[in-house]
Amino acid sequence: MENQKEQPAEVKEVIEPTDNTAEQSDTTQQPVTAETDGTTKLTAELAEMKDKYVRLYSDFENFRRRTSREKLDYLKSANEEMMVALLPALDDFERAIKFSGDADDTDAAKEGLRIVYNKLYKTLEQKGLKPMETKGQAFNPDLHEAITQSPAPSPDLKGKIIDEVEKGYLLNDKVIRFAKVIIGS
């Protein structure tokens, strides 16, 4: 029986250290709660940053939509300005057509059309339109579109533009229509 009594004593000794480990685990839990407080702070900061991100993203999306809408409105108003500027020339064309139907004098009709053309040309020129000068210049693929090649009338016109089929135009120094030209070979 002595052996049996010793065994429970040993068991008791084994149990006591486990009770001490429970106390030790309580002391180790205190730093865990400090870490938990730090984790809670980090979680709160993360939630705050996510909220700021979502607000910033929605502000950016609203800005993008607003600017695209303003851009469309601006383009519409820019076309409106051009149309208003062209209306007097349109009125003059209507008057010229009406007058040319009543008149038998072709010289007067030609003169009326020439006046209307000059008025339209001046209006477009005021808005930044300029025709390209092409004849006798070197071919430039950034400004010209070669339709065909033709024998050059003189050796100095080889590789240069000898004729213009369709006039090219620049709007504020930007090509809006390429000049269609014939190049001397």
pTM over 0.75: no
Token reading at 141: 């693929």
Identify the three-state secondary structure at position 160.
strand
- The answer to whether the 1-127 and 130-185 domains have the same CATH topology is no
Answer yes or no: CATH 2.30.22.10 is held by domain 130-185: yes
- Checking phi first, is residue 148 left (phi over 0); if not, alpha (psi -120 to 50) or beta? beta
Which of 116, 110, 114, 112 lies closest to 91 in space, CA to CA? 116
What's residue 11's pLDDT? 47
What's residue 5's pLDDT? 47
Q: How far apart are CA 181 and CA 136, in angstroms?
A: 11
What's residue 114's pLDDT? 85
CB-CB contact of 144 with 167 (8 Å): no
Other C-beta atoms closer than 10 Å to the C-beta of 86 total 15
What's residue 152's pLDDT? 84
Token reading at 107: 């010289």
What's residue 50's pLDDT? 96
Q: Kindly state the greatest CA–CA separation across the chain.
A: 148
What's residue 42's pLDDT? 92
Please state which architecture CATH assigns to domain 1-127: Alpha-Beta Complex (3.90)
Domain boundaries, the chain: 1-127, 130-185
The residue written with tokens 């209307």 in the block is: 116
Query: Per-residue pLDDT for the chain (185 aa), expressed as one digit of tens each?
Result: 444 444 444 444 444 444 444 444 444 444 545 567 778 999 999 999 999 999 999 999 999 999 999 998 887 777 777 777 888 887 888 877 777 766 677 777 778 788 888 888 888 888 888 889 888 888 888 989 999 898 888 888 888 888 888 888 888 888 888 999 999 88
What's residue 1's pLDDT? 47
Q: How far apart are CA 128 and CA 167, in angstroms?
A: 16
Helix (H) or strand (E) holding 179: strand 179-184
CB-CB contact of 130 with 157 (8 Å): no
